[in-house]
Amino acid sequence: MRTLYLECNMGAAGDMLMAALLELHKNPDDFLSRLNAIGIPKVCVTAEASVKCGITGTRVVVKVDGQEEVSQDHHHDHDRVHHHHGHGEHSHNSYHDIEHRIGHLQVSNTVKQNALAVYKRIADAESQVHGVTVNQIHFHEVGEMDAIADIVGVCMLLEELAPDQILASPIHVGSGHVRCSHGILPVPAPATALILQGIPIYSDQTKGELCTPTGAALLAHFVNKFCTIPTMAVSKIGYGMGTKDFEKANCVRAFMGEAAETQEQVAELVCNLDDMTAEAIAFAGEELLTAGALDVYTSPIGMKKGRPGISLTCMCRPSDKDKMLALLFKHTSTLGIREYISRRHALRKEYTQVETKFGMVSVKTSHGFGVQKSKPEYADIARIARERDCSIQDVLSEL
């Protein structure tokens, strides 16, 4: 199984993660050229060699209007956040401004969705910390362009590296305090601590903020499991360097390689329904899938008193079980949910863009256990069928 393992022994920040992943990319220069062309205003991203404790790696430099926003620690991650006081602050962006900017970038829908999900984690944590709504959180424009470049860059790199699974070590958060415009905050900073709830963290005597809200949100969104490095044949290693110098090498280390095929566990959550409309059941299923369910399906059943009913099944990762239970109780009329833990054997999936007579079409290839299967993505086939006013079968036959 193609596995990416992130070693966060000195925490993580967005630029460090991007730099580590960039070293794994087959053509870093081409990637940076494309990243700089996606439409982030006034931003230029470059990479340079950096040495920490005798180890050479890469440092990503993000400049906005030709200026790099550098901080001795990472407290600009916090200084970029302010409450909205109702004044005409043209140098600030609201969360909806960020959504608009990311939505108009020249990147895939998957990258947009992942970037927005990462930003939502940050905005939710900041709003909770400051006791205001997400709409009242405003971000400094310069710092936010820097953060958008880090977040979107990581999302693009992960899409192109296409690991089957992403694992990471427990996260070293540092210790002491960090100074920002709000005052002096404990490490990990409150927003970072909220984002990292449920994720294994630790601290030693290293003073300073090692994990930023941006780094925490990226890890929380993408990492499937936090653990020690698995048994794997490593094919490539990347070093993403931070700015500050410590006694230990200040870097995120990324390992890419093949890990042994493993069995997954999935939770199956099942409830019986006899008093909901088809529309309401469909809505519940959509909400579960949007929240990360692996699959949602229904089966017709007969219930007590001769009533026809529906059995609704939600399959999810065990780590998402509590979230799915809450959504099932919220969006259905059920009073009880049955839980089954099952083993799942899944093929590995890869997505590639293929040039066809109709233009670029995304093709999903699944392989493992000695078999390989490929099929074009339904959304692309449906789009072509609508554009050409023909059937889906006609498009498939031509392809």
CB 316 within 8 A of CB 338: no
Which of 79-93, 183-197, 290-304 is the least confident region?
79-93
Of 236, 259, 282, the residue that ends a domain is 259
Measure the CA–CA gap between 109 and 120, rounded to whole angstroms.
Answer: 16
Of 344, 370, 387, the residue that ends a domain is 344
Determine the residue type at 54.
G
Q: Each residue of 323-338: pLDDT tens digit?
A: 999 999 999 999 999 9
- Helix (H), strand (E) at residue 99: helix 95-103
* Residue span of the structural domain in which 389 resides: 348-398
pLDDT at 76 over 60: no
Residues 204 and 339 in one domain: no
pLDDT at 75 over 60: no
Residues 241 and 293 in one domain: no
Residues 30 and 55 in one domain: yes
Q: Each residue of 145-190: pLDDT tens digit?
A: 888 999 999 999 999 999 989 999 999 998 888 776 667 888 888 8
For residues 219-239, average pLDDT: 93
Residues 319 and 249 in one domain: no
Residues 242 and 304 in one domain: no
For residues 261-284, average pLDDT: 90
Residue 366 three-state SS: strand
69: pLDDT confidence band, cut at 50, 70 and 90? low
Residues 141 and 284 in one domain: no
Give, in degrees to the nearest 5, the angle at Cα 350 between 368 and 218: 115
Residue 227 three-state SS: coil
Residues 281 and 361 in one domain: no
pLDDT at 308 over 90: yes
Average pLDDT taken over every residue of the chain: 87
Which letter, b or e, does each residue of 29-52 get, where b requires 16 or more Cβ atoms within 10 Å of its Cβ? eebbeebeebebeebbbebeebeb
Residues 175 and 189 in one domain: yes
Q: What's phi and psi for 131, nearest 5 deg?
A: 70, 35
Residues 372 and 334 in one domain: no
pLDDT at 262 over 80: no
Of 195, 224, 259, the residue that ends a domain is 259
Residues 308 and 222 in one domain: no
Residues 217 and 296 in one domain: no
Domains of the chain: total: 3
Residues 210 and 338 in one domain: no
Q: Which CATH number belongs to the domain containing residue 270 in this structure?
A: 3.30.70.1380
Greater pLDDT, 89 or 36: 36
